[in-house]
Amino acid sequence: MTAEPLALAKALNAGLRKAMENDPRVLVMGEDVGKLGGVFRVTDGLQKDFGEERVIDTPLAESGIVGTAIGLALRGYRPVVEIQFDGFVFPAADQIITQLAKMGMRSLGRLNLPVVVRIPCGGGIGAVEHHSESPEAYFTHTAGLRVVACSNSADAYSMIQQSISSPDPVIFFEPKRRYWDKAPVERDPDAWTPLHAARVVQPGEHVTVLAYGPSVKTCLEAASAAAEEGRSLEVVDLRSLNPLDIDTVVRSVERTGRCVVVHEAPVYSGFGAELAARITERCFYRLEAPVLRVGGFSTPYPPSRLEDHYLPDLDRILDAVDRTFGW
């Protein structure tokens, strides 16, 4: 049977629906997730089919939303919380960092908080301030959280269900500018990639390019452009940021000898710094050049008319690839 093509937002909707059908403890909570179906329509139709007790329109209070989810998880439910836009997660940071991430350790493993916090992330949609952030490094730095980022419809469908099934809290990043990109979706769980495994999405020989979330498609486009110049880029979709599938990364970098890391967040203290450090530790004698990073600049996210200058594009990625051959 041919896998059905779905837009990424529709794949998330289908994955949430399947999880709710399979487990009555799964709840969906957030601002406008019910009657409206979410600002990106990811939860469209769920309240109609599962009722207001399982798809809950909450007040505009992110700290209260996550705090309520923690209480529900302690009573045996599996809440899926939607943060409407990435920049809105910061009012909930206290609940996520101080409570959600630490309850397992605080209780010596006796208590689990299977809460999924969905966060549409990144830029590229011409939005206003606080709507185009990339806050992943805050959460990868927080022990006790699993942090994952889907980049396509197939992963969106499988990874949201795998995250809901996890006994641990999961921060689930969704690339909002890819919500309308379509790709085939595999419905058979036996064919899914494990939640915390990276995947080589474009084999190559000369340079390893590491990306996740919205940057994966940009890197694939860069690989196509580089191929016209005779350079073969291997693109690795990390998929999971914590835990990190470092072994897949190391195998690729040891073979190519060069590595470029791409993400939308600012380069300074971004997640790429952790990748560069780990790769240098594991691959030092196999590297032909330093690990280079391409990302946002050390400024607040700019107005929408300037975001094309801020976000990594083909030229900046290919320039980094060129620089790895200058050593």
Which are the catalytic amino acids?
131
SS3 content of the chain, % helix, strand, coil (to 5): 40, 20, 40
Task: Name beta bridge partners: 208.
Answer: 234, 259
Contacts made by residues 297-302, CB under 8 angstroms, sequence distance 24+? 297/266, 297/267, 298/266, 298/267, 298/268, 299/266, 300/129, 301/123, 301/129, 301/132, 301/133
DSSP 269-291: TSHHHHHHHHHHHHHGGG-SS--
> In a 3-state reduction of DSSP, which class is residue 69?
helix
> In a 3-state reduction of DSSP, which class is residue 200?
strand
Length of the chain: 327
Name the strand (E) or helix (H) holding 320.
Answer: helix 314-324
Structural tokens at position 267: 């380069």
